[in-house]
Amino acid sequence: MNRVVCVTGASQGVGYETAVAFAVAGDTVIATSRDAATAHPVLAPHGIEVHDLDVTDQDSVDALRAFVEQRYGRLDVLVNNAGRGFQGTLEQLSMDDLGDSLAVNFLGAARVTKAFLPMMRTARSGHIIAISSIGGAIGQPFRDAYCAAKFALEGLYESLQPVAAQFGVRVCLVEPGKIDSDHDARALHLTPVDDEELGRIEQRYETAASTARPRPPTETAQVVLACADDPQATLRHQTCKLSSRLVAMKLADADGSVITAMTGSWLAPAP
């Protein structure tokens, strides 16, 4: 029997490739976007249903859940991909900026997870996968708001995983590194850099970050698909060897000195 799958934030990038990967595998896919009319032409040719969803709006989430319950009576796989990049160090961020990042990248995923978890608990089966980030394991300069939200997401899912497992629901995190998409280009640079010192430091970070080789979004999509296919899926899944090495480094770094030495080196003046 094919699965019923919902992928949030599926209009482009990782979300789009993930929705297509499940459709190619023969699953029934419900893809969501804040602008379903725009997403429909690129997803519908793959036999994918497209629905409006704003993960920051409880009524919007409730409407999606009601549709899935009425149409299918179950949801086998939920992929929480919807999110947004935020750029800036803490001095450049307002409290509203921090709240906006949490609303989209953390509370949005929490809201959708909470909506569909009772359905899966009743069925005693299901798989919930969140697209996290290396930024959910390693804090990165000038990504304060984004990393904070992804850290929160990882804490939520790590806490939820053993509880959900009691009733047959698997909970997983997928941690990509830099992806070849317009994710960074669409990141909100929340306050113009009018501080000369911060501007110089940020430019050093951007220079260092530009040397990272981006990975194709299809790579992350295939990791998500493999995770959903694995009845023994673990909590964390990285998408490449470099990501795995960095996460392993972080988890072994009890006092934080190794990670902060690495990220601090990204800000050092050129010799």
* pLDDT tens sequence across 208-266: 988 888 899 999 999 999 999 999 999 999 999 999 999 999 999 999 999 999 999 99
pLDDT beyond 60 at 13:
yes
Domain 4-265: give its CATH architecture.
Answer: 3-Layer(aba) Sandwich (3.40)
Residue 54 burial by Cβ neighbours in a 10 Å radius (0-12, 13-18, 19+): middle
pLDDT given at position 181: 66
pLDDT given at position 195: 81
Active site residue 146: yes
Q: Cα 35 from chain centroid?
A: 19
Helix (H) and strand (E) counts for the chain?
A: 10, 9
Residue ranges of domains in the chain: 4-265
* Helix or strand (DSSP H, E) at 49: strand 49-52
Question: What is the rounded average pLDDT for all residues in the chain?
Answer: 93
Percent of all residues in the chain with a pLDDT value above 90, rounded to a whole number: 82
- Residue 178 CA to residue 176 CA, distance in Å, equals 7
pLDDT given at position 160: 98
- Considering the candidates 16, 146, 157, 205, report the single residue annotated as catalytic: 146
Helix 95-102 / helix 144-165 crossing angle, nearest 10 deg: 40
For 87, 108, 224, 242, 267, the CA distances from 175, given in Å and listed in that order, are: 19, 18, 10, 11, 24
Confidence of residue 92 (pLDDT cuts 50, 70, 90): confident
**Range list of H helices, 28-180:** 36-43, 58-71, 95-102, 108-123, 144-165
Percent of all residues in the chain with a pLDDT value above 70, rounded to a whole number: 94
Pairing status of strand 126-131 against strand 77-80 = parallel
**pTM (global) more than 0.85:** yes
pLDDT beyond 60 at 186:
no
Taking CA 113 as the corner, what is the angle to CA 107 and CA 119, rounded to the nearest 5 degrees? 155
